[in-house]
Amino acid sequence: MGSQAHPKRAAGSDKVWTTLITNTDYLSGLLTLDYSLKRSKSAYPLVALYTDTFPPEGHAALDARSIPKQRIEYLLPTKGKDYSNDPRFYDCWSKLTPFSLTEYSRVVQLDSDMLVLHNMDELMTLPLDPPELAASGDRTTSRRVFAAGHACVCNPLKKKHYPADWVPENCAFTSQHASPDAAQTEGADPAVGPLGFMNGGLQVVNPSEDIFRQIVRHMETDAHAMDFADQSLLSGLFRERWVPLPYVYNALKTLRWEGVHAPIWRDDRVKNVHYILTPKPWDEIDENGEFTGAEESHRWWAEVNKERKKVERENGVADDGF
């Protein structure tokens, strides 16, 4: 880690965690994510990547907690797909921005609805192709453009607008049910099943202007056919050229459910929980700060969130409702 801040960097380190924030709906999640990274004794800072839609009260909350922030442009294809069934995907294009942040040598992008349970700083030194090789497009020599976890394509909630081939037999995690011990440390082969689909919640990236140009060009050309925005783009453009991480780094909460991927889930091995879908854990906190939900993984978030607020009070941070 550098001792002096780079002129363009929001933080002094040249390796950072980042998370996108466009409004205050996910701000409680971001604040608890930041606290959980510090709680896990990460050596690297979290930088909040904000767009112009992020309001003043959000900035005040970040400033009060000394969380570095960096403005980014809102990324959206000029001719995109209609995501009215899942409006969250309009914001997801901006999660591709870390590929452009060349002021850092390594960026690990995290969704704000995540909770870090154990230190995962090893992602900052995970081997990837150098940017010039990754940008070459040579599929024979460039096989490690970025790292991510697989998406679960089981569609356990039976959402009707999801693709028809999103079924358990096509899910990479299903292929690991027979070897749960290996699943704690090895990602499923990206070639398993017909989909080879990644989840955009956590992305390990060596930023590159050339790669980002490829991404934007692909976005502008084919966005209308991308059901899952950034995830569809990266899974298609870099098919079998990304490093699959074990589920523990992007532990989608639904994997824990019986009938989904409970055979591989281990509470004590999970490093980072991802609270996909709704409700979010912060939606289940009452006016007294008590947890009202039933899902065990949500309870973990509520406990860390309560701890965060206690520490903030002790440090003189005014309660701003986040």
Spatial contact of 80 and 92, defined as CB atoms under 8 Å apart:
no
Q: Which two tokens stand for residue 143?
A: 């096989």
Q: What's the average model confidence in pLDDT over 253-259?
A: 98
The dihedral over CA atoms of 93, 251, 197, 212, expressed in degrees to the nearest 10, equals: 40
Q: Write the pLDDT tens digit of every residue in 1-32.
A: 444 555 589 999 999 999 999 999 999 999 99
Give the pLDDT confidence of 118-141 residue by residue, as tens digits. 999 999 999 999 998 888 888 888
What residues are paired with 109 via a beta bridge?
18, 203
Token pair, residue 39, equals 């709680």
Q: Which residue has the tokens 């380190």?
A: 13
Residues 147/203, Cβ–Cβ less than 8 Å: yes
* The residue to which tokens 């607008």 are assigned: 161
Position with higher pLDDT, 238 vs 35: 35
- pTM, entire model: 0.92
What pLDDT is attached to residue 3? Answer: 44
* CATH class name, domain 15-308: alpha beta
Give mean pLDDT, residues 252-271.
98
* Mean per-residue pLDDT, 252-260: 98
The whole-number pLDDT of residue 236 equals: 84
